[in-house]
């Protein structure tokens, strides 16, 4: 029975990987200019470096696909971690205001240092970190009542959204498209803008995978975890740091992409079980797939116009999540 389960999990992983490769390829072929498979291959293999196809792939489509992968993987992992650390199934970068914190700081940095990409990433991380630490303190103070954490998150979120909207209205010259930024979009992603975030997110996911067993222990409650020799508060802080870094960095290049961090961990637990050692890598993969697919749909649905990926995620993800909740009878969500 156990063996079957690990085998099933392996097969699921493989399927997710294959789907991801397929989505990446499809994303390179389709778009406002349709390329043939041959054309894509000859660009990727370096045979065609000068034609407009090469420019389209290297400057537009590939960065966008990589951006989608990173955004999905980062938010998926951050979601799992936040849900684990706060012991709250409703936690996610979006619901507890971590994204808004990052967003607000990104807009501030755009205001002051419009061209500095490193400043943008750093500010995004700081914003996310400060917000999540505030939430963690509130949670600690309110004795971890689940409702309080989410309510505090919503309050902080709307407070920061007000700040972002203020910047958006007062400074119309702000060097990002603020409307799209607030919804979450991958248009305009270039290899340059994702350079720093990519490093951070990949490192973040790797560290999370290495530390994933500690997340399992935290799920048993502080008393048990510490009696097994885990430095509970220290690890909680490290995990908050990781989740903030990842979600902040995603915000820095893709804006406030919502929903991935909330629903991906739930779907993964539904498919793979609750062991964080499986859930973290699986969430990264599924998150990546989810964002890639949504971005692809957003680009093709009303081509040549495109919808920001954030809209598609909420449009498709919302009902799907409701379906999952109802199917499970809402019982097992209380993980």
Q: Report the interface residues with other proteins, using CB under 8 A.
A: 1-2, 5, 213, 216-217, 219-224, 226-232, 269, 273-275, 332, 334-335
∠ CA 188-193-195, nearest 5°, is 140
Please identify, using beta-carbon distances, which residue of 134 and 232 lies nearer to other proteins.
232
Please identify, using beta-carbon distances, which residue of 5 and 192 lies nearer to other proteins.
5
Q: Report in angstroms how near the CB of residue 235 gets to other proteins at its nearest.
A: 11
Q: Report in angstroms how near the CB of residue 205 gets to other proteins at its nearest.
A: 17
Please identify, using beta-carbon distances, which residue of 148 and 226 lies nearer to other proteins.
226
Cis peptide before 304 (omega within 30 of 0): yes
Please identify, using beta-carbon distances, which residue of 158 and 213 lies nearer to other proteins.
213
Q: Report in angstroms how near the CB of residue 211 gets to other proteins at its nearest.
A: 9
Q: Residue 36: how many CA atoms within 13 Å on its side-chain side?
A: 3
- Are 230 and 84 spatial neighbours (Cβ–Cβ below 8 Å)? no
Q: Report in angstroms how near the CB of residue 266 gets to other proteins at its nearest.
A: 12
Q: Report in angstroms how near the CB of residue 228 gets to other proteins at its nearest.
A: 5
Please identify, using beta-carbon distances, which residue of 37 and 141 lies nearer to other proteins.
141
- Are 200 and 125 spatial neighbours (Cβ–Cβ below 8 Å)? yes
Tokens of 70: 């990173």
Rounded to the nearest 5 percent, the helix, strand and coil shares of the chain are: 75, 0, 25
∠ CA 235-264-17, nearest 5°, is 100
């Amino acid at each position: 029975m156990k063996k079957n389960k690990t085998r099933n999990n392996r097969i699921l992983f493989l399927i997710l990987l294959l789907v991801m490769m397929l989505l990446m390829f499809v994303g390179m072929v389709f778009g406002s200019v349709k390329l043939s498979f041959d054309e894509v291959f000859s660009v990727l293999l370096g045979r065609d470096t000068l034609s407009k196809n090469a420019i389209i792939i290297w400057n537009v489509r590939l960065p966008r696909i990589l951006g989608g992968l990173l955004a999905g993987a980062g938010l998926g992992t951050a979601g799992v971690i936040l849900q684990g650390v706060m012991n709250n199934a409703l936690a996610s970068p979006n619901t507890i205001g971590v994204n808004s914190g990052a967003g607000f700081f990104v807009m501030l940095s755009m205001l002051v240092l419009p061209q500095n990409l490193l400043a943008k990433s750093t500010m995004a991380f700081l914003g996310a970190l400060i917000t999540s630490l505030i939430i963690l303190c509130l949670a600690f103070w309110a004795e971890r009542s689940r409702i309080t954490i989410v309510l505090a998150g919503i309050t902080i979120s709307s407070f920061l959204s007000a700040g972002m909207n203020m910047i958006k209205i007062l400074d119309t010259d702000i060097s990002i498209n603020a409307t799209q930024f607030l919804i979450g979009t991958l248009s305009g992603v270039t290899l340059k803008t994702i350079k720093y975030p990519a490093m951070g997110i990949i490192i973040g996911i790797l560290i999370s995978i290495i530390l994933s067993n500690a997340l399992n222990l935290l799920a048993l409650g502080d008393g048990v975890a510490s009696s097994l020799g885990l430095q509970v508060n220290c690890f909680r802080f490290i995990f908050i740091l990781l989740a903030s870094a990842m979600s902040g960095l995603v915000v820095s290049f893709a804006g406030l992409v919502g929903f991935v961090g909330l629903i991906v961990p739930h779907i993964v637990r539904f498919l793979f079980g609750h062991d964080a050692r499986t859930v973290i890598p699986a969430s990264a993969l599924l998150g990546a797939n989810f964002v890639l697919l949504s971005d692809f749909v957003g680009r093709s649905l009303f081509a040549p116009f495109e919808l920001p990926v954030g809209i598609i995620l909420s449009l498709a993800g919302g009902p799907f999540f409701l379906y999952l909740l109802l199917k499970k009878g809402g019982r097992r969500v209380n993980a």
